[in-house]
Structure 1
Amino acid sequence: MKDQPSPLRETDDEARRLARVLLRSARYAAIAVLDPDTGFPFASRVLLATDIDGVPVILVSKLSAHTKALARDPRASLLTGEPGKGDPLAHGRLTTQCIAEPIEHGHRFHERIRTRFLDRHPKANLYIDFPDFLFFRLKPEQASLNAGFGRAYHLDGGDLIIQSPANEEIAAKAAETVRDLVERHPDVAGALAARLKAPKSASWRICGIDPAGFEIISGDFLLRYEFETLAVDSDHICSNISKIAYSIP
């Protein structure tokens, strides 16, 4: 009996880039946890952001079923990727298996994560500081990318994490970096939206930077752009963004 061919393709840089964009551009995700009472998978929906190293972040109520499940067993899976026109299965999606780490008030990452989350989800300001809410960092362990029919890939958790010595420095200066960039180029977000062929919208703004890229947002629309190489500092990020916005195509 002949061995069946593997349905998986060899993971290449294009697959890694698509997986990172599917994860980092998602404003929400389906999350699956293990019900502590029954052991059955339990699925829900959560708002999603990313930390400076690209690790996905969720904000949840301590009263929710999935939060109680994560407190008992930190294993979780995220499903990201938006269906488009036609067959939903023809569009890319990513399942990321993660280990959840709680980030409560007073944690050294809390303020950074809070700022980045609100930049993407400003309406969360209504409840983000309630005492019964907390963040989880969902560190990727491995992932499965389906980029469409016949295009399946396996990824390691490290393929989705920004492993840069500049992470902390860039995070500390992120708000100042964006503010300075906008002061020099007031139309930079609109120029980026035009260059990236974003949906037409009244106002776009930069809502996140990191060594690997940036996001722009307008209402429910969010676009992620990945740099060709990791930026080494904030000036490098500004230079990259300016070139993307204003260079001749």
Structure 2
Amino acid sequence: MASEQGIREARGLIRGAISATLATGAGGQPFASLVTPAPAPDLSPLLWLSTLSEHTRHLAAEPRCALLFSGVAEGPNPQTAPRVTVTGLAERVPEGDVAPLKARWLARHPYAALYADFADFGLWRVRLGGALHVGGFARAERIKAAELAPDSAAVAAIAAAEADIVAHVNADHADAVEAIANGLLGAGPGSWRLVAVDVDGCDLSEGNRTVRLAFLAPLSDADGVRTALIRAAREGRARLAPPG
């Protein structure tokens, strides 16, 4: 059984990534490419892929794939970087399900609005299998899919409340969002907006910049999100307050 810390770190890497390495295969030949994922509420990586790309053609013929998500190394040795490799099956998202998931992907990658409507692009989802999490040098453990996935009831509850949470916070608490982004996360001042919420955290966006607030623990409902955002805003304001 994987450790709670390892599972939490692995999910954090997947939730917070703005890029990843995708491994596919064709005719027995492995192939690796850079992709820009965004996690669905249930943690499944979403990929906005062009049919002109070689890796897309690979997935259409052979859906088995892997994704490598990497963090930042603690020093000069790259092996100290936390990372997680997940295996899974890639599938085209059915047309009727594309709109909300595409919006979530664009919330993570707002710059992609310039080409997101090109006819050759489509939304793919990777259904997660197992994972190998490396927390740093000589810290590795395997995580089963059932251990890695967030609680389905919590995912559904927060997904159902997400639109109302985002609308309310942006309309009535813009100062709190700015305090979290600038004061707590150190992203700098700006017209920050809350753009996505899930059981593990939330995404804040300003122009083409996106930053992520990770919750202290997985949440199960809208009240938990409200409490977490209030706490984060208070901490952010305290860090921005002048000394004395």
Q: Give the TM-score taking structure 2 as reference length.
A: 0.86
State the alpha-carbon separation in 2 of the partners of residues 166 and 231 from structure 1.
Answer: 4
**Identity in percent:** 31
Aligned-pair Cα RMSD in Å: 2.3
Equivalent residue, structure 2, for 1:89? 79
Does the CA-based 8 Å contact 1:24-1:224 persist in structure 2?
A: no
AA of the residue aligned to 1:61: S
Q: 1:47 aligns with which of 7, 31, 36?
A: 36
Counterpart secondary structure, 1:245: helix
- Asked if structure 2 preserves the Cα contact closer than 8 Å seen for 1:164 and 1:211, the reply is no
For the 8 Å contact 1:96–1:143, the answer to whether it is kept is: yes
Matched to 1:91, the amino acid is: A
Match of residue 111, structure 1, among 99, 102, 106: 99
Mark the runs of 5 or more structure 1 residues left unpaired by the alignment. Answer: 1-9
> CA offsets per residue over residues 74-123 of structure 1, 9 Å max, x none?
1111111133442111110111111112115x23x211111101111112
Distance across 2 between alignment mates of 1:148 and 1:177 = 36
Higher helix share: 2
Residue number among 105, 115, 125 corresponding to 1:137 in the alignment:
125
1:231 pairs with 2:220: yes
1:34 aligns with 2:22: no
Q: Which residue, out of 79, 85, 89, partners 1:99?
A: 89
Map 1:1-249 onto structure 2 (within 5 A).
11-35=2-26, 38-84=27-73, 85-104=75-94, 106-107=95-96, 109-193=97-181, 196-200=184-188, 202-218=190-206, 219-220=208-209, 222-232=211-221, 234-246=222-234
The number of residues matched between the two structures is 235
Structure 1 runs of 4+ with >6 Å offset: none
The answer for unaligned runs of 5 or more in structure 2 is 240-244
